[in-house]
Structure 1
Amino acid sequence: MAISLPLPTASGAIEAYTLRGSAPVKPAPSLTFNRIAYSAAHVVADPRAAIDPWLQCAIDWDATIAYRQRLWSLGLGVAEAMDTAQRGMGLDWPTSLELIRRSLDAAKDHPGALVASGCGTDHLVLENVKTVDEVIAGYEEQMAAIEKLGGRLIVMASRALARVAKGPADYERVYGRVLSQARQPVVLHWLGDMFDPALSGYWGTRDLDAAMDTALGIIAAHAGKVDGIKISLLDKDKEIAMRRRLPAGVRMYTGDDFNYAELIAGDGWGSEPTHGKSDALLGIFDAIAPAASAALGELARGNTRQFHDILGPTVPLSRHIFAAPTRFYKTGVVFMAWLNGHQSHFSMVGGQQSTRSLPHLAELFRLADAANLLEQPELAARRMKTLLALHGIE
């Protein structure tokens, strides 16, 4: 029987929508990929906690870790305590460290599970930071805590560094110190200001080409300590240009939630394998995990057409979830987890479930259906109807 429900449009009208009835995407078992693929995983808030949700953080640890176990079962790695987990946007450093600890512990039950954890300076009081030395000490504090747990590092972009740095030389100094001390090769993270306006002018300039030169210089000087760099600029041409200039063996981890399919497939450019393709460290992989897994499995088998057939329909959904203001994309990620039954509620740390409108969420529902990403269509429709009723549509 066809499933229908009334959905609002951008104009405010209410239109009947009937689900496509297509079978949800299901990846093959025993997956082996020829790309490294991290999903930046969200956290599940605890809606029953007696806290002030805009000011305090409460996590449902069981549901949060269960979601990571699902990602590992699909062959995806977990990029832990990143912005998808609302790091610096409701998730504080003590809770982030506890999240990292629990994730690393849980990964021990999944042989081969990949976990890399965000290391930043978000525990510093931004307004009080005056010097680059304070930024270095901030990074060192988080590095020590994560490495003590046995964790690998993703060196996150620092709002504090963006605030106090006077130019590229300050970035070279900070990253030089951080990389020289890392126990294992790290992933660097260049997050564009569409994701976080406080990071505008990162690497000491607003000129992206000049900023890229600085970042590449830092990587070249410490290539043995850099596994790769994730860039989230939503500009595929910048990513490809930087990818081709990376030192041999240093990976490009795409963070481009608009163009990830073609960037992961690659263009085969150059004699160095990592220059012609991107690996992945993506927030959207949280929301499209089964499709990402299935597509990567096809790519590893040489089935490029099937890779695009599976992943291509997810791109319009991703572009919608990451539409401006891009920093609110996490609401769409958690909404997808709720629709698909991976958490029992649509509540978020910091009350951020309120950052997207009902028409936005209705269009997300349509696009998820078009991409065959509603894993339990009846449940998804029932939960969408609940949300509609809360907004006066029955």
Structure 2
Amino acid sequence: MTIRLPDSKGTLRTYDPRTEPLTATTGTAFTSRTVFSAAHVVADQYADVSPDSPAAVDWDVTLAFRRHLWSHGLGVAEAMDTAQRGMGLDWAGAAELIRRSAAEAKAVGGLIACGVGTDQLTGPASLAEVRAAYEEQLALVEASGAQAILMASRALAAAATGPEDYLDIYGHLLRQSAEPVILHWLGPMFDPALEGYWGSPDLDAATEVFLQVIAAHPDKIDGIKVSLLDAQREVDLRRRLPDGVRCYTGDDFNYPELIAGDEKGFSHALLGIFDPLGPLAAEAVRVLDTGDVTGFRQLLDPTVELSRHLFQTPTRFYKTGVVFLAWLAGHQSHFTMVGGLQSARSLPHLARAYELADGLGLFPDPKLAEERMRNLLALYGVNH
């Protein structure tokens, strides 16, 4: 049976949904790459809240999704921007998410790393306040037993007057961290408030400051996560990293080639797109574990069109598509997001996401996905 989907021109066209899902099995951790999926949070759909209210999270379903990712061998990158950090999930909610997810990871033996930021600061802040905020969050993550990811800070971007402020803040945090951390460079396409991070809007100049931080503390840095959507810049950067410091790609446009690598190295992965792609991505990495780069690319390359669609500008709203696909896939019973962010993408955008995901076989139950897509279309007045 066909379904009519709206396109970007406002017209309806027919689509024949897939009837068989892609078969993907669960498995253990990978051997050739370290791979994290940044994971979304599931809202409590019955909570009487507004977009300005503290996030109301369905903890049971949120943790069940993390168990789904762990079951396929993926690590979970927790309380990152995919979890709507700073876009619906405040620090109080993030702190609770970190505590709960870290405990769950310990219970099931799952790999987890958690975001450390400064989002408890709600207004203009001094550099001393930025440092204290980072310290508070770092202490909580370390106490939970999770690895820390030092995220880019809106407050630091606003307070810093030049590269030396970044060198000072990050140097202080790295000296006191108990275990090696992951540094996260999130570009302004994901968060406009991070324009000019590392002390300059010029990416070449910013890269040199970033590398100074790494060179001064290589024993305290497990790796870096780069989210600039610039494949060549990431390759150039990873070739300049000290021995033992990994590069985790955060490039949701070019991840297959960056993970596959070249004769001079490769990237590990910490990706938001691996939230909806979890089982398929895991299968591809297991193929790569055998040394079969061609087979890896054959599985993962076809997913790039979906990823580029979800992450199209305004890129920061990619979370809407991620949660939408989780609903269609049956990981949650509703399409509601903290902060009301389910309204951030248009019906044609969501319809195209459904079509691309269905074509890849991402839905464990294609009939359920089709039924839910029809219900959404009916809500928007599309009659079949």
TM-score when normalising by structure 1: 0.95
Q: Deviations over 1:112-146 (max 9, x none)?
A: x111110000001233x1x2111111111111122
Q: Which amino acid aligns with 2:66?
A: R
Asked if residue 349 in structure 1 is aligned to residue 347 in structure 2, the reply is: no
For 1:176-195, what aligned pairs fall within 5 Å after superposition?
176-195=171-190
Q: What corresponds to 1:302 in structure 2?
A: 291
Deviation at 1:324, TM superposition (A): 0.1
Q: Helix, strand or coil: the match of 2:33? A: coil
Alpha-carbon RMSD: 1.1
For 1:330-349, what aligned pairs fall within 5 Å after superposition?
330-349=319-338
Asked if residue 58 in structure 1 is aligned to residue 56 in structure 2, the reply is: yes
Q: What corresponds to 2:278 in structure 1?
A: 289
Q: Which amino acid aligns with 1:390?
A: L
For 1:121-200, what aligned pairs fall within 5 Å after superposition?
121-127=118-124, 129=125, 131-200=126-195
Q: What corresponds to 2:350 in structure 1?
A: 361
Asked if residue 208 in structure 1 is aligned to residue 206 in structure 2, the reply is: no
Q: Which amino acid aligns with 1:214?
A: V
Identity within the alignment, %? 57
Deviation at 1:305, TM superposition (A): 1.4
For 1:1-394, what aligned pairs fall within 5 Å after superposition?
3-27=1-25, 29-30=27-28, 32-111=30-109, 113-127=110-124, 129=125, 131-269=126-264, 276-394=265-383
Distance 1:227 1:126 in 2: 31
Q: What corresponds to 1:272 in structure 2?
A: none
Distance 2:75 2:26 in 1: 17
Please tell me whether the aligned partners of residues 236 and 263 of structure 1 are also in contact (alpha carbons under 8 angstroms).
Answer: yes
Please tell me whether the aligned partners of residues 54 and 351 of structure 1 are also in contact (alpha carbons under 8 angstroms).
Answer: no
Please tell me whether the aligned partners of residues 38 and 274 of structure 2 are also in contact (alpha carbons under 8 angstroms).
Answer: yes
Q: Which amino acid aligns with 2:78?
A: E
Distance 1:4 1:228 in 2: 47
Q: Which runs of 4+ in 1 moved over 3 A?
A: 20-23, 27-33
Distance 2:66 2:3 in 1: 31
Deviates more, 1:162-171 or 1:137-146: 137-146
Distance 1:241 1:250 in 2: 14
Deviation at 1:23, TM superposition (A): 3.6
Deviation at 1:22, TM superposition (A): 4.8
Gaps of 5+ in 2: none
Please tell me whether the aligned partners of residues 54 and 93 of structure 2 are also in contact (alpha carbons under 8 angstroms).
Answer: no
Q: Helix, strand or coil: the match of 1:230? A: strand
Q: Helix, strand or coil: the match of 1:46? A: coil
Please tell me whether the aligned partners of residues 25 and 294 of structure 1 are also in contact (alpha carbons under 8 angstroms).
Answer: no
Q: Which amino acid aligns with 1:209?
A: D
Q: Which amino acid aligns with 2:342?
A: Q
Distance 1:297 1:28 in 2: 11
Q: Helix, strand or coil: the match of 1:287? A: coil
Deviation at 1:49, TM superposition (A): 0.8
Distance 2:65 2:30 in 1: 20
Q: Which amino acid aligns with 2:6?
A: P
